[in-house]
Amino acid sequence: MAQMMYWEAIRRAHDEEMTNDPLVIAMGEDIGVAGGTYKATQGLYEKYGPERVIDTPISENGYTGLGIGASFIGVRPIIEIMSVNFAWLALDQIANSAAKVRYMSGGQLTAPVVIRSPGGTAHQLGAQHSARMEKVFMGIAGLRVVTPSNPRQAYGLLKSAVRCEDPVFINEHELMYNMRGEVPDEEFFHPLEGSEVSRQGRDVTLFGYNLSVHWCLQAAEILAREHGVDAEVIDLYSLSPLDRAGIVRSVAKTHRAVIVEEAEAPVGVGAEVMAIINEECFFELDAPPLRVSARNVPIPYSRPLEKVAIPNVGQVVERTMTLFRRRNKH
Amino acid sequence: MAQMMYWEAIRRAHDEEMTNDPLVIAMGEDIGVAGGTYKATQGLYEKYGPERVIDTPISENGYTGLGIGASFIGVRPIIEIMSVNFAWLALDQIANSAAKVRYMSGGQLTAPVVIRSPGGTAHQLGAQHSARMEKVFMGIAGLRVVTPSNPRQAYGLLKSAVRCEDPVFINEHELMYNMRGEVPDEEFFHPLEGSEVSRQGRDVTLFGYNLSVHWCLQAAEILAREHGVDAEVIDLYSLSPLDRAGIVRSVAKTHRAVIVEEAEAPVGVGAEVMAIINEECFFELDAPPLRVSARNVPIPYSRPLEKVAIPNVGQVVERTMTLFRRRNKH
Amino acid sequence: MNVMPGYVSQGARQDGYRPLSVADRKRLLREMLFARRFEERCYEAYVERKIGGFLHLYSGQEACAHGVLEAARPGHDYVITGYRDHIHAIKCGSDPRAVMAELYGKEAGVSRGRGGSMHIFDVAHRFMGGYALVGGPFPLAVGIAKGIKLKGGDEISICFLGDAANNQGTFHESLNMAKVWELPALFVCENNLYGIGTRIDRSTAVLDQYKRAAAYNIPGIQVDGQDIEAVHKAASAAVEHVRSGQGPYFLELQTYRYRGHSMSDSNAYRSKDEEKKWLKRDPITILRNRLIEENELSLDEFKTMDREIIDHIENDIVRFAEESALPSAQDVDKYVLAENDPWVRGKGEKA
Amino acid sequence: MNVMPGYVSQGARQDGYRPLSVADRKRLLREMLFARRFEERCYEAYVERKIGGFLHLYSGQEACAHGVLEAARPGHDYVITGYRDHIHAIKCGSDPRAVMAELYGKEAGVSRGRGGSMHIFDVAHRFMGGYALVGGPFPLAVGIAKGIKLKGGDEISICFLGDAANNQGTFHESLNMAKVWELPALFVCENNLYGIGTRIDRSTAVLDQYKRAAAYNIPGIQVDGQDIEAVHKAASAAVEHVRSGQGPYFLELQTYRYRGHSMSDSNAYRSKDEEKKWLKRDPITILRNRLIEENELSLDEFKTMDREIIDHIENDIVRFAEESALPSAQDVDKYVLAENDPWVRGKGEKA
Ligand SMILES: Cc1ncc(C[n+]2csc(CCOP(=O)(O)OP(=O)(O)O)c2C)c(N)n1
Ligand SMILES: Cc1ncc(C[n+]2csc(CCOP(=O)(O)OP(=O)(O)O)c2C)c(N)n1
Ligand SMILES: [Mg+2]
Ligand SMILES: [Mg+2]
């Protein structure tokens, strides 16, 4: 098992898939000559040339639609949207074309595009560069949404996304590109559906995805060390569809659930996981499920404001403990 | 109290606000000379002229952004997006400009625009004309979302939205423009926040908004007549912010909740209301809250498919009754 | 503004053009007449509530799709358009019965009844679909052109859209990319002077649409869209330009729709005078009269042709649509995602 | 392609132009020098981690904002731009201390520390903001122009953006609307030949950006953006055109940024040769040397001026930013929505 960074894992997946299939192409702003803002496509331009590694104009809806159209006839575009904030501009082609074409053509056409984009809050990038849009993509029928929490997933999810017949949105994170982790040396394809138990536990389940998985893991350590609470951590690497069975399995075991999301609460991952728990295993609950979310504000630039706008490990611990202090249901 | 149609109520609100303030303008595709696809602006072009009743090019992001820019210096644009499906194209200006400008300018600028659009599934309009996007707008901090279920609300909510300093998205419905209802003769401004008890009841709360309020009311009649179940119906005319207090008040009384939404379930109104119930009054529940939603598919054209894709009154009744048949929690 | 066609710019090579033979012109007359009758029959079916949703008819614009596609290779070249799409699909080779069945929402429809009038798809004939968002097809067409270039085929990608669609941002972004990457895309603008009820001069700063292509260094030309021979000649040069690897091309056809924008539109915004002027330039009548003048056709032959077409539509096409089955409600969840795609389960080692 | 400025098109009336006085030119020299030193000081502060987020510097382009706004009425006319916005705001009248405090994320910042470098707002001086989405300001600027027209004022709306922004759909939609409605909007394109690391010829079909305005019947001109006197002359005609009610105007300024696109960019994609060529045409040096040749300025005076500016920035501006307070975390929810807006509660009868 080689240690590599998140961006290196994404780059490796690109490279392998482009070698495997001449119709796999990469496109996006500054991904070619410049090698990509986060280096995810570094060196590919030199290796595969301008026809397959395409520096696009600043035309998000246009080049996303272009990738979708190319995918109609067998091309497998991996589209990088430099920051998820710019995806607001491309939602028309993603929602109206990519996600609906299979259905409205009665199965004749499909749009096997991969759209990758960093979708978290980094450091002081301000309101227009700090949106978290996973909730928007999860609401679009016909689109798959995955979000890697480590280099192994970043590699394996992109590999499978490229091969899959469906359009897949991959929600990455600006703060994770330099994260190190193990990636198997042998080629592999990560499942696009399901969830992963990142830590076994008995007392409460902490649900996270992408960066928040790491907050959950750190919180779990503190909960064990300082509060004797044994938390299970579930990594929801597939946000659409969500792994109903995996969610139920864990809650049926721990009887308590905390969903940790980097985004604001309204109509988000936390709400959807809570809804699934209510629908699938309400009677397993010993306490109300709760969500730890960002404040419902555009993200401020100033550091002290930004810090409190986004959830942190301390909050996860503290909010989780309320489940044990609060009166039991029966 | 005059009886008028939903479209007439919207037209009246436009007319009164445009008479009251010369900086209130209406803009959108075919709203002027043609009078508006659903007649909501009929006659205004003749009355107020082309500078204030503006037929726009087919440039959704452009003219929405134009309205937002004009609102920066005191203009009060009422922007009609002919079908909410076209709003996918305008989300950039709505989310990145209108919703964030107050925050990122430290309160110096605000975008008091009103964006109106029919946001439901009509009859056989197909996948690209049947989207329900309320969930998308509800996820945007800095934007208000209201949705009128009758002519009185259609009139009063638009009136208040025009005066309010915040950007407001008004989610209308293609199938409701010809609905008749009473609207007070005297001018009034409907609250932009809160919810309304459309029917008092003791046994279960049916939460609806826009068209689904009417499904809930019909279901309540059947539940009373055929099952002796006394259902309360809550009209969530404000989707952002949602009326937490109103939701809790009703659930604390009925101890059972059903959320009826025309949209697909994932990360929608149903999920958010369930989350609020879990957070605010979990221990009041005698049964798991449930949601009656559309199937998670692009909407098909063919009638028999479209019919089953969208929820109906029968489903509301049937699903609600499961709350009474199912074993009680204790 | 001058609402009548006429002005034709330079821009496309006209040399080596092989004019249409009499046989071709007779066939095209029949095809256009069929198109007209097909659309008018859809109108009736809509009034009878056999067809639902939005219905946009092509009557008046027949010479555009037929003239352009006659110059291309239907079934081989990729074609994409908007919601006014029945005739483009049929000219690409779609079975009119399957198109009508689609409008009836039947399982035997081209799109299995899932799409309806605005979403005719027939990938077997490389008709890549009708789309309902104005401007949506521009980037898709350019993407198909990119795919053609990557795969090294000799197909071209043809995008038919209206005049008002050119005000959408996708027009700008797509034409720029098509030129920067020199892609085999032919943009056909069917300029019928209106976007629903808004006349072009009220929404658009430049009335001659082909001139807008110059902002992307894309050659463009404006042609009388009511004269199929003029369309065919200009389109032949345009297709040759694109197929020979010289990059994208923009073809503006000046035309007119006879009916309202869709069934819900009354045309109140158009002067009867303007409509009369255009009716005088009916594409079917123009070609018919020419053939009659040349003694290649008699009025009786034409009337017989018309009767045959009407019978064929009624007894074959409409009957098929009427008699075929509706989709079953159980299939509502089909075609959202690929069915058991192996890659969804993954492969090889995993934690 | 020719990366050096020079070619200037026709298009703007040059008659009745009042050239800049010596006093004006000396003041502008000081202003541009101040801008340069201000930006370079930001660079240091960023390296010292006093400034966070993305930082885009204006060094090399000073003659653009100063030349154009000198010809307009800063503080009266509305100005909007992208993320490279510090200097535009200061030229509109913003207190440089409040701008620096904004970069430091302080409550005393122009945007109360909420915006940061990319979101300088100073509505009191009619600087309507810096926006971080490329192309986002186009429709906003046109909307402000629409508002001016409705209110009947004599202001104009000035939108400064880069060359690569012109490939965004909003450019197309906004210019078309500005012309259709004849709005008082001046579009200033600061063409520095790159969008981050992508050179204009790799992303754009038409290299001369002013030519793209023709697709909307908007007059345009291309000017040497390094010579503030040339900029001022062309801008004066452009401003006059727009203010006198003749509709929108497009002004392309050929310029160059010295530093990387933002602090995270190394400029690796540019040839040192190209950079040298442009450094020879430094806007400050050009004006300084002219004044010296005319014996209106001595090198010593210039050096003194420079020292004064550096001291001022250090002891006044940076000190202010350093010493002022950070926002309090309790205020994180402020400015999302209006505070107790009465209309939210409604008024008059309700059920
Ligand atoms: C994005 C979007 N905006 C608006 C509409 C509503 N609409 C449907 S067709 C149309 C007019 C299009 O006119 P044009 O492009 O000239 O094509 P034509 O109908 O004349 O053939 C409009 C505004 C739409 N379907 N999609
Ligand atoms: C919608 C959007 N897409 C992409 C980006 C990333 N980005 C920021 S600046 C920039 C280049 C813009 O170049 P140009 O318009 O020439 O302005 P310049 O930076 O050269 O002044 C890009 C691609 C963005 N901020 N917004
Ligand atoms: Mg048209
Ligand atoms: Mg640039």
| Phi/psi of residue D17, nearest 5 degrees | -80, 125
- Which chain A residues are Cβ-neighbours of D209 within 8 angstroms? none
Nearest Cα residue in chain A from C129: A105
Nearest CB among C167, C175, C217 relative to D173 is that of C167
C285 Cβ contact partners less than 8 Å away, ≥ 6 residues apart? none
User: Taking ligand 3, which is a single-atom ion, which protein residues have CB atoms under 5 Å away?
Assistant: C 162-163, 192, 194
In 10 A of CB A181, how many CB atoms? 21
Considering every ligand atom, which ligand is closest to the CA of A84? Answer: 2
Reported confidence tier of residue C10, pLDDT bands at 50, 70, 90:
very low
Tell me, rounded to whole angstroms, the distance of Cα D195 from its chain centroid: 16
- pLDDT tens, position by position, for chain A (330 residues)? 789 999 999 999 999 999 999 999 999 999 999 999 999 999 999 999 999 999 999 999 999 999 999 999 999 999 999 999 999 999 999 999 999 999 999 999 999 999 999 999 999 999 999 999 999 999 999 999 999 999 999 999 999 999 999 999 999 999 999 999 999 999 999 999 999 999 999 999 999 999 999 999 999 999 999 999 999 999 999 999 999 999 999 999 999 999 999 999 999 999 999 999 999 999 999 999 999 999 999 999 999 999 999 999 999 999 999 999 855 444
- Substitution target from B88, B301, B312 for chain C, most C beta carbons within 10 A: B301
**Looking at residue C77, what DSSP letter applies?**
B
- Which chain C residues are Cβ-neighbours of A92 within 8 angstroms? 133, 136
CA of B171 to the centre of ligand 3 (A): 28
Q: Do B308 and C329 touch (CB under 8 A)?
A: yes
**Cα distance between residue D335 and residue A309, in whole Å:** 13
CA of B300 to the centre of ligand 3 (A): 27
**Cα distance between residue C278 and residue D236, in whole Å:** 47
Residues with pLDDT less than 70, chain D:
1-15, 350-351
Longest dimension (CA), chain D: 80
Nearest CB among A55, A89, A129 relative to D203 is that of A55
**Residue pair B306/C114 in contact by the 8 Å Cβ criterion:** no
Q: Report the atom number in ligand 1 closest to the C-alpha of B29.
A: 23
pLDDT in tens, B204-262: 999 999 999 999 999 999 999 999 999 999 999 999 999 999 999 999 999 999 999 99
| Phi/psi of residue C195, nearest 5 degrees | -115, 105
Answer whether D261 contacts ligand 2 (Cβ < 6 A). yes
Nearest CB among C53, C115, C196 relative to B34 is that of C196
Q: Catalytic residue among A17, A60, A261, A272, which?
A: A60
**Residue pair B111/B68 in contact by the 8 Å Cβ criterion:** yes
CA of C224 to the centre of ligand 3 (A): 15
Q: Do B33 and C202 touch (CB under 8 A)?
A: yes
Q: What three-state secondary structure class fits B301?
A: coil
B17 among known catalytic residues:
no
Amino acid at D31: E
Residues belonging to chain D with any Cβ–Cβ distance to chain A shorter than 8 Å? 52-54, 105-106, 109, 111, 113-116, 118-119, 131-136, 164-165, 167-169, 195-198, 202-204, 268-269, 326-329, 331-333, 336
B129 among known catalytic residues:
yes
The per-residue DSSP string of D220-236 comes to EEEEETT-HHHHHHHHH
Tell me, rounded to whole angstroms, the distance of Cα C52 from its chain centroid: 21
| Residue corresponding to tokens 């049929």 | C90
> Chain D within 8 Å of C175 (Cβ-Cβ)?
yes
- Substitution target from D172, D202, D210, D217 for chain C, most C beta carbons within 10 A: D172
Answer whether A243 contacts ligand 2 (Cβ < 6 A). no
Q: Do A288 and B282 touch (CB under 8 A)?
A: yes
| pLDDT value at residue C8 | 42
CA of D161 to the centre of ligand 4 (A): 8
| Residue corresponding to tokens 């969610």 | A247
Name the closest-CA residue to atom 13, ligand 2: D195
Closest CA to D132 of B85, A254, A124, B131: A124
> For residue C11, is pLDDT > 70?
no
- Substitution target from D174, D187, D206, D208 for chain C, most C beta carbons within 10 A: D206
The per-residue DSSP string of B18-52 comes to HHH-TTEEEEETT-STT--TTSTTTTHHHHH-TTT
CA of C166 to the centre of ligand 3 (A): 10
- Shortest distance between the Cα of C110 and any Cα of chain A, in A, equals 8
Q: Catalytic residue among B8, B17, B29, B129, which?
A: B129
CA B152, B157, B161 angle in degrees (round to 5)? Answer: 160
**Cα distance between residue B59 and residue B92, in whole Å:** 13
- Which chain B residues are Cβ-neighbours of D141 within 8 angstroms? 69
Ligand 1 site residues, Cβ closer than 6 angstroms: B 29, 58, 60, 82, 86, 89; C 84, 132-134, 161-165, 190, 192, 194-196, 261
**Cα distance between residue D272 and residue D279, in whole Å:** 10
| Residue corresponding to tokens 């042709």 | C305
> Chain D within 8 Å of B109 (Cβ-Cβ)?
yes
Q: H or E element: which one contains C224? A: strand C220-224
pLDDT in tens, C22-31: 999 999 999 9
For residues B131-168, one letter each, b for 16 or more C-beta atoms within 10 angstroms of the residue's C-beta and e for the rest, the string is bbbbbbbbbbbbbbbbbbbbbbbbbbbbbbbbbbbbbb
pLDDT in tens, C116-133: 999 999 999 999 999 999
pLDDT in tens, C143-176: 999 999 999 999 999 999 999 999 999 999 999 9
**Residue pair A180/A152 in contact by the 8 Å Cβ criterion:** no
Name the closest-CA residue to atom 8, ligand 1: C134
Name the closest-CA residue to atom 21, ligand 2: D162
Query: Does this complex have an ipTM over 0.95?
Result: yes
Query: What is this structure's pTM?
Result: 0.97
For residues A119-129, one letter each, b for 16 or more C-beta atoms within 10 angstroms of the residue's C-beta and e for the rest, the string is bbbbebbbbbb
